[in-house]
């Protein structure tokens, strides 16, 4: 049925006149300008860092240096340990992220479905949301044991409450008239949720994904600070304890890269969705 239908292609964007051509050129130049400045800032930062430490203006013992970071990275790659640390942190983050996002959304669905339950639980959710989750660290370790399960729990705790609140808001912000329309077409509650409320909340869901990417890294690293024997957070703590700033910096840089990559993945999902 559907594939029989004709597709209407949007018109190709092409210059229509001299003015339009100028406009497109300006857009392109703007973009080039912005990107080149971003690159310049990055390299200036790295360059200054290297220069100031090489000339001993600042002490590389405390701030490390780009070349030291690079050498540290190479040696970590050569002895192969770095992959294990990256793998563990990445695993903890992704698992925590997935559990928190799915779990939070499921709870939001439950609370949307049952108004009374929502009203009963509302104050508890508010309190949970304002509680600094790190305070629960010792209790978490007592309850689920130290190590990976504690870290994932911390990560989930940090993300899940906000996910629930945001998704519930998105569900409840659906236009009441649209719900009436569905009812006038005799939709049942499940259909109203599945065909209206849920798709209507996709934009909010994507922004929740973006927030959770950041928050889940916070949760994992915080968890690793608390109790861990491997992972990038562990390397950072360990490095600072033995005054190996090179190790601390290398792990931090890797953390930045990984978080950026994960954020980029979400942006790709968004692009694919809104195409």
Residue with the two structure tokens 């504690």: 150
**Other C-beta atoms within 10 Å of 213: how many?**
23
For another protein, which is the closer residue by CB, 14 or 185? 185
Among residues 12, 18, 186, 271, the one that binds another protein under rule CB under 8 A: 186
Among residues 20, 25, 119, 195, the one that binds another protein under rule CB under 8 A: 195
189 binds another protein (CB under 8 A): no
**Extended beta strands in 151-222, E state:** none
Residues 141-170 that bind another protein (CB under 8 A): none
For another protein, which is the closer residue by CB, 97 or 193? 193
Among residues 185, 241, 271, 272, the one that binds another protein under rule CB under 8 A: 185
10 binds another protein (CB under 8 A): yes
Whether residue 62 contacts residue 249, with contact meaning beta carbons closer than 8 Å, is answered with no
Closest CA to 184 of 176, 168, 112: 176
Closest CA to 259 of 221, 213, 224: 213
Least Cβ distance, residue 5 to another protein (angstroms): 5
Task: State the Cα angle at 213 between 143 and 65, rounded to 5°.
Answer: 100
Among residues 67, 75, 149, 191, the one that binds another protein under rule CB under 8 A: 191
Among residues 110, 162, 196, 266, the one that binds another protein under rule CB under 8 A: 196
199 binds another protein (CB under 8 A): yes
Taking the C-alpha atoms of residue 184 and residue 53, their distance in angstroms, rounded to an integer, is: 72
Tell how far CA 96 is from the center of its chain.
Answer: 11
Least Cβ distance, residue 195 to another protein (angstroms): 7
Least Cβ distance, residue 12 to another protein (angstroms): 15
Among residues 169, 180, 229, 240, the one that binds another protein under rule CB under 8 A: 180
Whether residue 119 contacts residue 177, with contact meaning beta carbons closer than 8 Å, is answered with no
Closest CA to 161 of 130, 135, 137, 129: 129
- Using left for φ > 0, alpha for ψ between -120 and 50, and beta otherwise, residue 48 falls in alpha
User: Per CB under 8 A, which region of 74-82, 93-101, 180-188, 207-215 contacts another protein?
Assistant: 180-188
Contact residues toward another protein (CB under 8 A) are 1-2, 5-8, 10, 175, 177-178, 180-187, 191, 195-196, 199-200, 202
């Amino acid at each position: 049925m559907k594939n029989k239908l004709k597709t209407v292609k949007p018109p190709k964007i092409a210059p229509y006149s001299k003015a339009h051509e100028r406009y497109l050129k300006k857009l392109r130049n703007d973009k080039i300008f912005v990107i080149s400045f971003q690159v310049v800032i990055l390299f200036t930062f790295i360059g200054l860092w290297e220069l100031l430490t090489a000339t001993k203006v600042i002490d590389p013992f405390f701030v490390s240096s780009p070349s030291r970071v690079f050498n540290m990275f190479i040696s970590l790659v050569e002895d192969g340990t770095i992959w294990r640390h990256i793998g563990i942190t990445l695993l903890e983050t992704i698992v925590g992220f997935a559990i928190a996002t799915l779990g939070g959304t499921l709870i939001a669905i439950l609370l949307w479905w049952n108004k009374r339950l929502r009203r009963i639980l509302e104050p508890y959710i508010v309190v949970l949301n304002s509680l600094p989750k790190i305070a629960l660290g010792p209790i978490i370790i007592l309850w689920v044991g130290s190590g990976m399960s504690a870290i994932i729990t911390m990560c989930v705790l940090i993300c899940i409450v906000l996910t629930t609140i945001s998704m519930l808001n998105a569900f409840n912000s659906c236009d009441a008239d649209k719900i009436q329309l569905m009812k006038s077409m005799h939709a049942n509650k499940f259909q109203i949720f599945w065909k209206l409320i849920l798709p209507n909340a996709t934009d909010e869901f994507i922004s929740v994904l973006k927030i959770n990417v950041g928050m889940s890294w916070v949760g994992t690293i915080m968890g690793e600070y608390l109790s861990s024997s491997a992972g990038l957070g562990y390397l950072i703590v360990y490095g600072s304890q033995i005054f190996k700033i090179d190790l601390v910096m290398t792990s931090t840089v890797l953390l930045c890269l990984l978080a950026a990559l994960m954020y980029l993945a979400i942006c790709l999902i968004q692009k694919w969705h809104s195409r």
